[in-house]
Structure 1
Amino acid sequence: MKNLYRPILLLALITIGLIGLTVPPVLAQTASVEGTVRDPAGKPLAGVNVALPDLRKGTSTNADGTYRITDLPAGSHAITYSFVGYNTHTLQLSLDDGEVQTLDVTLTRETLQTETVTVTGTPYESDPLTTPADVDVLTGDTKFSRQQTSLGASLDELAGVSTISTGSQTGKPVIRGLSGSRVRVLDDGTAMDYQQYGVRHGPNVDPFTSERIEVVRGAASVQYGSDALGGAVNVISNALPDATDEAPFLQGETLGEFSSNNDELVGGVHLNGAVNRWGFTGTIIRRTAGNMTAPDVPTFRESDDTSAPKFSGELDHTDYDQLNGSLGIGYQTGIGQLSAEYTRWQNEHNFLLPNGRGLGQNLENNTLQIEGDLDLGHDFTLSPQLTYSTNLRQSNPGGDQAEPRSGLPDDGYAHLDVLLDSYTARTELKHPGLGSFSGMLGLEYKYQDQETRGAEPLVPSAKIHNIAAFVFEQAELDNLTLSFGARFDARNQQAQPHPDLNLPDYNAGETDEVLDQSFFEFSGSLGATYQFTKQLAIAANIGRGFRAPSLFNLHADGVHGGIAAYQRGNPYLDSEYSLSTDFSLRWRSNKVQARATVYRNAIDNYMFLVNTGEFADPDNEGPPILEFVQGDARLVGGNADISARLLPWLQLSGTFETVKGENVEDDISEIDDLPLLPPTRLSGKVSIIRSSLGQAENLFLSLGVQYTSSKEAAGRYEPFWQFGNSPEFSDFGVASTDAYTLFNATLGSDIPLWNRPVSLQLSANNLLNTAYRDFLDTYKGYALSPGRDIRLRIKIPFPVL
């Protein structure tokens, strides 16, 4: 951490500068909110989560249903009440200095999740119905039901969101047809880097360690810079509790899961508590799984059908072992909250290669985040944040044995070994109304130090500096909401020479100038929402995003074992620029929630990896060579979702999504389609609900069906195109996929224990054990997608003191 002084110094300077801009003196936070939370029968509810998302403060109700949150700044804040089996309730809280406001709340039995707030893609906490950005929030019971091992799989049911999967442990989100380095994954608003250029490189995130996950569709570069031109996923940690002027408390919950498909066992514990002004949260979770199982069908050797899978049934070398956790601590000062959180994620797993052998990997992420939310008085809030993270990626070609993870070393460097240290200093100043507008000003500095180790470099060692300034404003004008934002980034990338990467490639005429490259980028957004009635709103957005070429895009030169290809960069690539527009119609009531969106995204200088038709071995053997080129591209699509409570015991829901991506650059190739686009998908679900049966509460039975259309591979642009398209590359496999239909079912209930609900769920995915290939499953070239999976899940809340 020898370079940590740079962002610390810059954070101090920009924080002092922003404080100087505010002018008003710092005032103590003296407001409070208190009250009682009850069920419809008037019975107090214990353990209800009460939170102020924009301040990241919260508490839980006591055994008598009471709560109290102190040291709040004056101004307007959203406050949410969430509890298992009940609708999340959101109120707008308006506080004066020194005010103690009483808010008694009655929670209703869960029908639809109709009230929540978002803090992503907006300058301050907002209602997703009226914010111009197209946002989804995953929290509470919905998050519990949908969260999986990977982040991508946890979001896959959202309309317009898909996942690129490699077994159940790896899933990276796809938003409106864009993924990887075009979708920014955030850790509490700070960009997370995980070598995301790789098709099989998923975000190093365990959904269990977060309180909520927010998804922004469309360009989000104004707030989050490069790589957010397609959207953003913000993983938000648990709010820190507060026991000022209250008795100390400690409570928690345990999670247990079993999945039949790969014998996955999951055990996790979450604790939170507070003593006076000190609060803490802690989470630890262990996931261990054997090999994945696909439907047992004849292989291509057994059937003489070259489109049949090479492997079926139990797929060797698809096991994994994860140990993840987080620890946060905070202190409520007289002017706001200071907090620190440490998060660790580790996944040791195998990939099944086309030759049947295993590729072992060890992936680690460590993040330390220190931040504050400080009330400067007169509705000014300053939020400085300092983040240090390390990302380690180790990979070894392995043998036929799955343990120890196909040959990972106990010490020393792996065959491919990359360590990335990232330091981010970010400060946001939220200001009150300037005329009709209120919003934020922000400064951000990021320094990255990448060290490439091991025998297989793939990408060079390098240092990256990025400094940015941004503004994001929003106005509420009766039924009309307007937002606009602007951002400027200055980025410098300094790669180190590496002879094994031909860097620089003097034989090709390159000079040392390719090692040091700078990019100066502008991004902006403009959005509007008009609310016709309390239930109906329309929204429109236009945004300009950008993506600077990564070290991988510019300088890759080597075998990437995870995708069985030799990848070659291009040091003369320019930044990508996107101009995205969307229009949505939204409806939200107690019984019906619906949304339909159409969008268009034009991207200049879109970077393609194209199969050159050559091999890494001069004797036309070994992996194919993929090389970066770029040209203009266009994506057009739409998505829709609806949930309707037709009767007290009957709920219907469904989603639809489609996207078409085109290469509009005539000079690149005759191929029109873009790679890694999800097929058109239509899903529906019927849920039968009963409020109680004996001791059981909130019973439900859901039956779902999902239809996915066929999808043609984008020719030489498509990863794993070599399977099934040319005998010279492979004598088996497919790159395109057929249409298929899957059936799913879930049975769930809550059972009271210690005056708190124990949640039980039994689910079946791919209920009929259908043999199919998901187009975005990276095993599709030589194996089927997972077969039937029966999953049992239990969550037990408990009080400690």
Structure 2
Amino acid sequence: MRNIFLITLLFAVNTALFSQNNISGIIRNAETSEPVFSANIYFPQLEKGTMTNTEGEFSISNLPQGNYKMVVSSIGFASFTQEISIPSGEIEISLKPSAIEMEEVIVSTPFHQLQSENVMKVERESVSELNRKGAVTLSDGISQIAGVDNLSTGAGIGKPVIRGLSSNRVLVYTQGVRLENQQYGDEHGLGVNSKGIGSVEVIKGPASLLYGSDAIGGVLYLNPEKYAPANSTGAAVESDYFSNSLGYQASLMAKTSTEKLKFLVRGSQAYHSDYKSGDDVRITNTRFNERDLKAGIGFQHNKYKGDLRYNFNRSEIGIPEEIGIQSTEKEPLLPYQNIDNHVLSLDNKLYFAKSSLDLKVGYQFNNRKEFEEHNEEGHDEGHEEGEEVSGEEPEPALEMHLETLNYNFKYNLPKIGNFETIAGVQGMYQTNKNFGEELLIPDAETVDFGVFATTHYHLENWDFQGGLRFDNRSLNSNSYLTEEGSTVESIDRNFNSFNGAIGAKYQYDQKFIARLNLASGFRAPNLSELTSDGEHHGANRYEKGNSQLKNEQNFQVDLALELRTPHFETFINAFNNSVNDYIFISPTGETIDSSPVFQYVQENANLYGGEIGIHIHPHPLDWLHLESSFETVTGKLTSGSYLPLIPANSLTNTFRVELEEGKTFSGKYAFIRLKNVFDQNNPGMFETRTGGYGLLGAGFGTSINFGDSVLELGINGNNLLDKAYISHLSRLKPDNIHNIGRNFMISASWKI
């Protein structure tokens, strides 16, 4: 009897688990009742969707039973959202025509909503749009987002700066896991190739509630490119040429999907010579090369969805020190970095009738080598500074292996009335090991654990969201000997922090949106700040860590106002960010081997500012766009000194034309942009004033349709007037080395 009962129960569960639930319908124009072709139908919670055919019809199969939000979007129409009960009969939806640009679902926030529905304001840009504007690298591209800048060492090394905070104060997420690649270092770039990245999202402000330590300044979230739609195959050949650095970039992609299985693979490579500044001088050893492989396997069937992704990136990046050899070679000179980065991630989702489980795990291996002109034991014998390296690779002076295991477990609780709630745990296990002659940081082990809960409450015009979180970081390091023979003692520290966030959004008639968010965040001090004891050659100073440093703890108030009409949009964002125990480096008055000694210390700080913008697309000239945005940030210590590496105020004006219609030629665009960067008259400690400048850019492009394939062509130019200028966020500024001069980017992409 018991066996019969178990067999019956197993059969019932199996039937529920693998029963087929489909949904189909038609999308029409609300004004003409004509079908809408190529409209996107997407279920954010299920991460599954499709597109309408020429008759406006769509069908999606293998859906789990339950209530899920459906998002319908199409160019030229206002996005539409509605909760759908699955299984469901055939549905019919009418979209209202609108000149407002199509909204996308935001992935970096917990409830996966449209931007207009989010309580927290999140900036989003597709990488294709950033490339249209002539971005040389991904780090260069994100600096075009309001409130985001780029801390650079030449063209090949760039780090995101969000409202004046960077390095370990900004988290980068890729493939759904936090990217760990020794990001504390000034001479460490982002380490991610833009090819194979679909879009970027930027959370501006503390996001420790969702992401734990190091998200004190914000989060840069990189969304990988999507798989092919069900039962389809696609491929692409892409190439770019950069006139300034005589650089080129090529990428090959293939993907295919059945109803349940999805496959994707992409290989890319890029080679750049030294860039030329506006005064017609090539900046020695700013050359860089990159090879990148991305692959993915996805599976989705009714109650389960899995996504396995892998990314290998190898970068060879020259470290510029002074202007010397004028060359267009692409092999790096000494000193240079050779970096291998592996990212393996698995995203698992289980769907139940009224709830779901989400488990992400990730493994990363970062192998960072640095080659210099003077290595012991004669490893680099015969090589001088500025000499081209060829043949067998010399022994590295510095080699660090960073291994990281991440996990992120979230449970989406059953919806209770208007409440949606998520609870979860996150963690990280990380080891750092040294194999070179030099040590920047000691061998160490880091263990993170965090537990959190967040809830969202929805009313007709109001939305509220809040949450709490507790984190613990355990950090253990080995002792080591410095070059001077002194011993840096081992560290065994624990850092704890409670954090929370609360926000409210008011929306009136799809036109006016007001958001107010209050959030706290924290950052545990990194190994460099705790244990440094040696010469920093790039900064010409001797740096000492401070093993007694405490958490940085911040609190930010963020107000965002947005007005949207069919032909006019404007926004105002204002923030105030108070940081207790801000960590910075300060002179001690001592010298070691004639180098001034600096030590890491702490003091309270405050950052404030915001962004304001306007976008006009007048009727009936909906294809015409006039955009203007202004951004400002000020950072000061309580003692009155200004913080270093704060971007100067800037004003960007863009005039662009976009014409989507056309049987053969579609997606036509052209733009002209002027970015004015004002004087930075409030330099931080050890900085000098930086003069302002204006950069003129322009570009145009189109898509040519050949039946089932599309050829996309574009030409974009930056710094068209070949201005000789220095950015305040350039690490080459102390050497009076100018940023990149006039640069044309010619792009071609064949998609089938």
TM-score (norm 1): 0.83
> 1:142: how far off?
2.6
One-letter amino acid of the structure 2 residue matched with residue 675 of structure 1:
P
Structure 2 residue aligned with 1:439, among 421, 425, 428? Answer: 421
| Counterpart check, 1:789 vs 2:750 | no
Change (3 A) 1:295 1:682: same
* Residue 215 (structure 2) aligns with: 228
* Residue 116 (structure 1) aligns with: 104
Change (3 A) 1:694 1:240: closer
Structure 2 residue aligned with 1:491, among 464, 470, 473? Answer: 473
Task: Tell me if the contact between 2:397 and 2:437 (Cα under 8 Å) persists in the aligned partners.
Answer: yes
Task: Tell me if the contact between 1:258 and 1:793 (Cα under 8 Å) persists in the aligned partners.
Answer: yes
Change (3 A) 1:49 1:201: farther
> 1:372: how far off?
1.0
Q: Which runs of 5+ in 1 are unaligned?
A: 1-24, 297-311, 507-511, 722-734
Change (3 A) 1:363 1:63: farther
Task: Tell me if the contact between 1:31 and 1:100 (Cα under 8 Å) persists in the aligned partners.
Answer: no
* Residue 666 (structure 2) aligns with: 697
Task: Tell me if the contact between 1:54 and 1:119 (Cα under 8 Å) persists in the aligned partners.
Answer: no
Structure 2 residue aligned with 1:210, among 197, 207, 214? Answer: 197
Taking every aligned residue pair, what percent have the same amino acid on both sides?
25
The 5-angstrom pairing of residues 140-159 of structure 1 reads: 142-146=129-133, 148-159=135-146
One-letter amino acid of the structure 1 residue matched with residue 362 of structure 2:
T
| Counterpart check, 1:279 vs 2:253 | no
* Residue 251 (structure 1) aligns with: 234
Task: Tell me if the contact between 2:664 and 2:706 (Cα under 8 Å) persists in the aligned partners.
Answer: no
> 1:93: how far off?
4.6
> 1:321: how far off?
0.9
> 1:99: how far off?
2.8
> 1:252: how far off?
2.4
* Residue 303 (structure 1) aligns with: none
> 1:655: how far off?
1.2
Change (3 A) 1:27 1:440: farther
Which digits, 9 at most, give the CA deviation of each residue in 1:620-652, with x for residues without a partner? Answer: 25xx54321111000111111222102334210
| Counterpart check, 1:70 vs 2:70 | no
3-state SS of paired residue (1:446): strand
One-letter amino acid of the structure 2 residue matched with residue 214 of structure 1:
E
Task: Tell me if the contact between 1:456 and 1:558 (Cα under 8 Å) persists in the aligned partners.
Answer: no
Structure 1 residue aligned with 2:372, among 369, 390, 397? Answer: 397
3-state SS of paired residue (1:314): coil
> 1:409: how far off?
6.8
Distance 2:318 2:40 in 1: 39
3-state SS of paired residue (1:710): coil
One-letter amino acid of the structure 2 residue matched with residue 258 of structure 1:
Y
Task: Tell me if the contact between 1:489 and 1:520 (Cα under 8 Å) persists in the aligned partners.
Answer: yes
Structure 2 residue aligned with 1:635, among 592, 607, 622? Answer: 607
Distance 1:761 1:183 in 2: 32
Structure 2 residue aligned with 1:750, among 703, 714, 734? Answer: 703
> 1:89: how far off?
6.5
Distance 2:153 2:28 in 1: 45
> 1:417: how far off?
1.1
Distance 1:440 1:271 in 2: 36
Distance 1:565 1:355 in 2: 21
* Residue 31 (structure 1) aligns with: 21
> 1:440: how far off?
0.8
The 5-angstrom pairing of residues 50-129 of structure 1 reads: 51-59=42-50, 68-73=59-64, 74-79=66-71, 81=73, 86=75, 90-99=79-88, 101-102=90-91, 112-120=100-108, 122-129=109-116
Which digits, 9 at most, give the CA deviation of each residue in 1:172-214, with x for residues without a partner? Answer: 1111111111111112432111211122322221222122211
3-state SS of paired residue (2:139): helix
> 1:461: how far off?
0.7
| Counterpart check, 1:175 vs 2:159 | no
Which shifted more, 740-749 or 135-144? 135-144
Task: Tell me if the contact between 1:213 and 1:234 (Cα under 8 Å) persists in the aligned partners.
Answer: yes
Task: Tell me if the contact between 1:149 and 1:206 (Cα under 8 Å) persists in the aligned partners.
Answer: no
Change (3 A) 1:637 1:462: same
Distance 1:538 1:369 in 2: 36
Change (3 A) 1:140 1:355: closer
One-letter amino acid of the structure 2 residue matched with residue 169 of structure 1:
G
| Counterpart check, 1:762 vs 2:734 | no
One-letter amino acid of the structure 2 residue matched with residue 337 of structure 1:
K
Distance 1:239 1:52 in 2: 14
* Residue 572 (structure 1) aligns with: 548
> 1:685: how far off?
0.8
Number of residues of Structure 1 aligned to a counterpart in Structure 2: 716
* Residue 304 (structure 2) aligns with: 336
| Counterpart check, 1:166 vs 2:166 | no
* Residue 500 (structure 2) aligns with: 524
> 1:794: how far off?
2.0
* Residue 323 (structure 1) aligns with: 291
Distance 2:530 2:91 in 1: 58
Change (3 A) 1:324 1:54: farther
Change (3 A) 1:118 1:544: same
Task: Tell me if the contact between 2:714 and 2:747 (Cα under 8 Å) persists in the aligned partners.
Answer: yes
Distance 1:107 1:756 in 2: 29
Distance 1:176 1:391 in 2: 28
> 1:64: how far off?
8.2
Distance 1:33 1:147 in 2: 41
3-state SS of paired residue (2:210): helix
Task: Tell me if the contact between 1:114 and 1:593 (Cα under 8 Å) persists in the aligned partners.
Answer: no
* Residue 601 (structure 1) aligns with: 577
Change (3 A) 1:194 1:503: farther
Structure 2 residue aligned with 1:741, among 694, 714, 735? Answer: 694
Distance 2:398 2:405 in 1: 23
> 1:42: how far off?
6.6
> 1:444: how far off?
1.3
Change (3 A) 1:501 1:607: farther
Distance 2:53 2:293 in 1: 26
> 1:780: how far off?
1.9
Which digits, 9 at most, give the CA deviation of each residue in 1:776-800, with x for residues without a partner? Answer: 11222221111000111122211xx
The 5-angstrom pairing of residues 207-606 of structure 1 reads: 207-241=194-228, 243=230, 248-296=231-279, 313-354=281-322, 356=324, 358-378=334-354, 380-398=355-373, 410=393, 414-500=396-482, 505=487, 515-606=491-582
3-state SS of paired residue (2:214): coil
Which digits, 9 at most, give the CA deviation of each residue in 1:550-607, with x for residues without a partner? Answer: 1111012223445554332110100000010011111233322321111100000000
* Residue 772 (structure 1) aligns with: 725
Distance 2:384 2:52 in 1: 54
| Counterpart check, 1:201 vs 2:222 | no
* Residue 728 (structure 1) aligns with: none
Change (3 A) 1:658 1:596: same
Task: Tell me if the contact between 1:123 and 1:439 (Cα under 8 Å) persists in the aligned partners.
Answer: no
> 1:77: how far off?
2.5
Distance 1:503 1:485 in 2: 49
Change (3 A) 1:171 1:78: farther
Distance 1:221 1:544 in 2: 7
Which shifted more, 70-79 or 207-216? 70-79
* Residue 678 (structure 1) aligns with: 647
Q: Which runs of 5+ in 2 are unaligned?
A: 1-14, 325-332, 374-382
Change (3 A) 1:747 1:336: same
Which digits, 9 at most, give the CA deviation of each residue in 1:496-555, with x for residues without a partner? Answer: 11122799957xxxxx6x511001111110100111221101110111100001111101
Task: Tell me if the contact between 2:123 and 2:201 (Cα under 8 Å) persists in the aligned partners.
Answer: yes
RMSD after superposition: 3.0
The 5-angstrom pairing of residues 2-41 of structure 1 reads: 27-28=17-18, 30-34=20-24
Distance 2:150 2:575 in 1: 19
> 1:30: how far off?
4.1
Which digits, 9 at most, give the CA deviation of each residue in 1:394-416, with x for residues without a partner? Answer: 11224667675x589737x5111
